[in-house]
A = this chain, B = another copy of it.
């Protein structure tokens, strides 16, 4: 690979710049009492991250917006330069894209669970005894045809799946059937016009009312199709051979499809069209893969990438370097730290940060630009995403190297980037890569 030879070629020159955007899921934290009120990132021995901080420009970043704890989906939309407030309506589309379904803008997508209901229709288990083999069930469901929408159902991992409705006049503004409880019936799906309450009672302009009427009728039509699908799916599944066998074996039958997380597939202008950046993604998490796919990026499956601390980092870095040969930007997503944070395990978090650090030289060696950041803060003291800004460093030719010498939440706050918004990160990087698009003359 000859890329590194050109490393300090002038920004804006003729040659193509290569960048790696490393997103360490949930890496950022708050001061931890057990770590002498340092954060895991501050206490970890991470010479390579510190090297990046010393030779790059640092800052802190509100991935989505100050005070808003980001989801992994909205965070990655923002990190790719999209405004999640404009394009995100629910998790369904990104799960479905991550599952490999070829979505079209306007499709309505849901997350789905195989579940067990008893003869009275009450939910016994929301995960159908954590069933694993669902492919035959998926195939049986393919015969469901309902007027008004094309139905696409795909089983994914374990009891999970995704459901997509395609057609004109549909809406994502419908409720879930999953009550998140057992001993009750699945919920009837109804129109749910969340924004409705935000419509002011004045001024009632003609267009506004008309739009609302259209939205209501679309949501009603969609809810009707979904209720019909739920009924027909139950009818098919309850008599399916696989379920009969399961019952004989004393296992719970997967005889119901619970759905949730509706969203409309947004029209995302592909990264390449929008910024002239040919992008690729290395990730284990389906949700992140889904966001990247919808952004028009190349998404690869890396054997050994688990989304956990036992993931094969070497394989992911190798895949990143390979993709860099014919892409401008590779987003390398590393999930394990978020898991450690959800487990409230600061030691595990420190250790995995140190492990990630040991793989950085391979990337620094080759890429022109390295951006290292997190998609959100997940404090071990909280065990869930919070809105604290994340640290970010941009390393590469032309950056205004600042005085920050080590990479951490509080050191980065003293850096030359100041406090930026997540959706400006990629435009900032693109500009440094010589791909800025001037607005005006």
Contact = CB atoms under 8 A, between A and B. Distances in A.
B218 A12 contact: no
Nearest to A381: B10
Given A66-B427, A398-B30, A420 B419 contact: yes
Contacts of A246: none
B210 A206 contact: yes
Given A381-B11, A381-B398, A428 B31 contact: no
A173 to B, nearest CB: 11
A118 interface: no
Given A60-B418, A73-B441, A105-B200, A413 B402 contact: yes
Interface in A387-419: 387-389, 398-402, 409-410, 413-419
Which bracket fits the contact residues of A?
Answer: 35 or more
Interface stretch (A153-161, A292-300, A430-438): A430-438
B12 A379 contact: yes
A65 interface: yes
Given A211-B207, A214-B203, A68 B439 contact: yes
A431 B67 contact: yes
The prevalent SS among residues of A at the interface is: loop
A254 to B, nearest CB: 23
Copies in the complex: 2
Interface centre among A105, A198, A399, A441, by most chain B C-beta atoms within 10 angstroms, is A441
A58 to B, nearest CB: 10
Contact of A67 (B74, B201, B424): B424
A385 B438 CA distance: 7
Contacts of A73: 440-441
A416 B413 contact: yes
Contacts of A6: none
A62 to B, nearest CB: 8
Contacts of A10: 381-382
A213 B107 CA distance: 25
A179 interface: no
A264 B425 CA distance: 31
Interface in A221-263: 261
Given A11-B382, A31-B398, 12 more contacts: A11-B381, A30-B398, A30-B399, A60-B416, A67-B428, A105-B200, A106-B203, A171-B203, A198-B269, A388-B400, A389-B418, A401-B410
26 contacts: A10-B381, A11-B382, A12-B384, A68-B427, A68-B436, A69-B438, A71-B438, A71-B440, A73-B440, A75-B440, A84-B439, A84-B440, A88-B439, A105-B200, A105-B201, A106-B202, A169-B203, A200-B267, A202-B264, A203-B214, A205-B211, A384-B438, A386-B432, A387-B436, A400-B410, A419-B420
